[in-house]
Structure 1
Amino acid sequence: MKGILTMQEKPLIEFQHVSKTYDNGTIGLNDINLSIPQGEFLVIVGLSGAGKSTLMRTINRMHEISSGDLIVDGESVVHLEGKDLRRLRRSIGMIFQNFNLVKRASVQRNVLSGRVGYYGTWKSTLGLFSKADKQKAIEALQRVGLGEKLYSRADELSGGQQQRVAIARAFMQDPKIILADEPIASLDPLTTESVMNDLKRLNQEFHITVIVNLHSVSLARRFADRIIGLRGGELVYDEPIDKVTEKDLDAIYQPVSLVKESEAQA
């Protein structure tokens, strides 16, 4: 089954006793041990503030960890700098809740920005992308059903269309990993379905590892190969989808205070 590591298979991503404490003393992550294989569709669930975004953003070093080690594709990423850090981020597509597009730029220009990591600074600044990459942008937009929007401005699109442009942009990176941080939080149910289906197709057709933060338990159960749960920065649940139960998921969403009270009474 996809998501289960064999003895010979190395994880694509491995958290080894990873902790993160913010400057104000808030614990973002607490001693996380987690292995994620290539090609898995992993969904992270938990209450707001549980550490979902923090965990995700340590993978591409948007957040630094305080202790432990984080291995991506066989390499510790904790101390990467300069071109090595750029190489890491080039292999990891990021999809944000608020789309993170340049609203006044064309859809084409937004999608092509996914190739910036493959160009020198002056070429990318001037928009001097190759003919091959311009064709790749067309194909990426067609893949998410927006081929006819190539020359539209990003701010002329609906929220769902903007998110699908963001998915096309991530695909342009030729990523091994796509991180999607609450990608459907501001979308209506119909558009949510389209966005989740787009992510699942990239996962299945290109064997891209997709990691998604979701609040919707029903969507998590429909799309995930595996679900992990965080509570108060701790990993409290980790099961393949065929072992996930409704009772388990309900327990993940219990506030930390209630869990501690229950443990104290036990």
Structure 2
Amino acid sequence: MAAMAEPIIELNGVKKVYDKGVVGLKDINLTINQGEFVVIVGLSGAGKSTLLRSINRLIDITAGDILIAGESITKAKGKKLRLLRRNIGMIFQSFNLVKRSSVLRNVLTGRVAYYPTWKSTLNLFSSEDKNRAYEALKQVGLEDKVYTRADQLSGGQQQRVAIARVLTQNPQIILADEPTASLDPQTSHRIMEDLKMLNEDHGMTVVINLHSVALAREFGKRVIGIRGGEVIYDGAMADTPEAIFTKIYNGGDEND
């Protein structure tokens, strides 16, 4: 249990102000430990995506610092930034696949950060990494789709390809931004089971934005409530009463 207490993501006084003074995040202080499964909930526009995208510097914060395994990603540049990002997998609502490429080629992009640009551009991946990609597809039940074009798959299958890509990348951290938002309930449940597999079987720290309180309750071990760019709740899911979710979604100002 001692390993669980090792901080892997730390946000210290994080603020994000967009153009025209729109505040995305207000003084966020959070520590997420290695191996946690954290669910972030809140209304659309509450700051969930801004928070997630700040962690791997898809967007730059206005003030504060974000540490990944004790190192500042906020201040990192060049090779250092690439190495920190290599350790962070990202799963998007929109799947983010190259639709005209095969499933295998999409999954192999999880290894791109481990190769010189010219090799990945020419698709010169090692047989070891091709096997790694195939094994990842087996774990999400898509080994029969290896050479299928990504745009021939259903939405749920495309998201599972995205999960296999992250598994192939082998990061310590997975950030998932509304990965079930465009999927039906049964498919959404399957995707959450796959994320749980990455967390429990591979020890990856999962931080996921969700709209569905039911999915959050079923899969999340820790819940963070965001409202108006602020953390208004942070606790163990097992100890979180329904009233807290009501507060996160209905309490306070309605203008965020």
* Fold-level similarity (TM above 0.5): yes
Identity of aligned residues (%): 60
Structure 1 residues 204 and 249, CA gap change in structure 2 (3 angstroms): same
Aligned length: 256
Residue 66 in structure 1 maps to residue 62 in structure 2: yes
CA drift at 1:10: 3.6
TM-score, normalised to structure 1, is: 0.93
What is the rounded CA distance, in whole Å, between the counterparts of 1:67 and 1:15 in structure 2? 11
Q: 1:107-186 maps to which residues of 2 (within 5 A)? A: 107-186=103-182
The letter of the residue matching 2:62 is: S
What is the rounded CA distance, in whole Å, between the counterparts of 1:10 and 1:38 in structure 2? 6
2:46 equivalent among 43, 50, 59: 50
Name the structure 2 match of 1:94.
90
When structure 1 is superposed on structure 2, of 26-35 and 10-19 the one drifting more is: 10-19
Unpaired stretches in structure 2, ≥5 consecutive residues? none
Unpaired stretches in structure 1, ≥5 consecutive residues? 261-266
What is the rounded CA distance, in whole Å, between the counterparts of 1:199 and 1:82 in structure 2? 30
What is the rounded CA distance, in whole Å, between the counterparts of 2:201 and 2:234 in structure 1? 25
- 1:61-88, CA deviations, whole angstroms, 9 ceiling, x for partnerless residues? 0011111111110111111111111111
What is the rounded CA distance, in whole Å, between the counterparts of 2:2 and 2:231 in structure 1? 21
CA drift at 1:172: 1.1
Q: 1:189-204 maps to which residues of 2 (within 5 A)? A: 189-204=185-200
Contact 1:2 1:40 in 2 (8 A): no
Name the structure 2 match of 1:219.
215
Runs of 4+ in 1 over 6 A off after TM superposition: none
What is the rounded CA distance, in whole Å, between the counterparts of 1:121 and 1:71 in structure 2? 27
Structure 1 residues 87 and 190, CA gap change in structure 2 (3 angstroms): same
Two-structure CA RMSD over aligned residues (Å): 1.7
What is the rounded CA distance, in whole Å, between the counterparts of 2:2 and 2:47 in structure 1? 25
Name the structure 2 match of 1:208.
204
Q: SS of the counterpart of 1:253?
A: helix
CA drift at 1:259: 9.8
Contact 1:2 1:225 in 2 (8 A): no
TM-score, normalised to structure 2, is: 0.97
